Amino acid sequence: MKRYITLFALGLCMTWLPAQEVTRVQVGDTQNTGITYNLPLTMVRVVANASCTMVKAGIFAPFAEKYLGVKDAPMEDHVTWSITSVTVAAEASADTSRTYHINFVDKAAAPTFYLAPGNLLVGINREPEQKCGEMTLANVPETPQPAVHAIDVMTEELLKAGSRTKQAEIAARQIFRIRESRLNILTGDVDNLPADGASFQLVLDNLAAQEAAYMELFTGTSATTTTQREFLYRPAAEGSEVLFRFSRHFGFVDADDLSGEAYNITVQVTDDNRQVPVVADAKGKAKPQATGVAYVVPGRARITIAQRGKSWADVEWPMAQFGHVEFLPATQFVNKKAPSAATLCPLTGALQLFQNEK
């Protein structure tokens, strides 16, 4: 009778990053008498998204309040950087300190293995289900720019004005003319109204674009772009260290550049399973360590990313490196009539499913 034992790897294997291609390996096809495989390390991939806003002051900025009542127009060009989001995801890496080899005398009875990149063992006699998702990063659209720019509305009268003050006065007067024209169209106080709805909207759009272009002369322009940095971190012990530094003036800077504020990553082990349980026989003597198909009983750790007390990410995951290795007897998988099957979590090496056909 079939027996299934499902061991949920605490939800983490649903966030396998990235989606992995699994290779089917049959002993005797590409191997001699056995197979070599690795157990995983659980890595943390941090993705930091930042925006850069470049402000260019208008040539008539000093007159913005006098002629238009705008009090907060920028008076000089400047660049401002800011972090918009920090996301974390788990990722598997081969643990070369946990490499194992299994020999099979009868290659015809040897089980089928399924390996992920890095020779990570993820299945025996059963292909793992492709439930693992791939983290996607949304592109942030750039700030749209007006269809008409300041240079396009520089009239002859404005350019020939004898002083900057006079030029600003002419430009402000033109803004009020555009606003008056728009109001007249909306109220129907014009001799010739647009023929239909599409024409009506086109006229309003053109007036809005011209007004925005004139306003650029006073309030300046602002353009925002986005950038992204990725950091791969291997949690090895409890503690905190600088993951990256970020400056509001220069963006991402080197970790030793004190012009940037530190974004720290902290590891706190919440369930330490690194100590291998001692199994004793009936007389109280320790039994020798078992051999066979290795898998991990993972521990757990809390990962936080913070900057000046502000938390940007806070997760708690099972992790392979804070756990210990146990073994399933290899003979269970070579039964010609009813071989067992198992799947392992690619992120933690934990036993996800064990199927006993007996």
Q: At residue 125, what is the residue type?
A: N
State yes or no: pLDDT of 3 exceeds 80: no
C-alpha–C-alpha distance, residues 131 and 135, integer Å = 13
Please give the Cα distance from 12 to 60 (Å, whole number).
57
Question: How confident is the model over 10-56, as pLDDT tens digits?
Answer: 445 544 434 558 888 877 665 566 788 999 999 999 999 999 999 99
pLDDT digits (tens, 9 = 90+) for 287-320: 556 678 899 999 999 999 999 989 999 999 999 9
pLDDT digits (tens, 9 = 90+) for 229-276: 999 999 999 999 999 999 999 999 998 899 999 999 999 999 999 887
pLDDT of residue 163: 87
Residue 109, Cβ neighbours under 10 Å: how many?
A: 13
**What's the longest Cα–Cα distance across the chain?**
109
Q: What are phi and psi of 357, to 5 degrees?
A: -80, -10
263, 48 contact by CB (below 8 A): yes
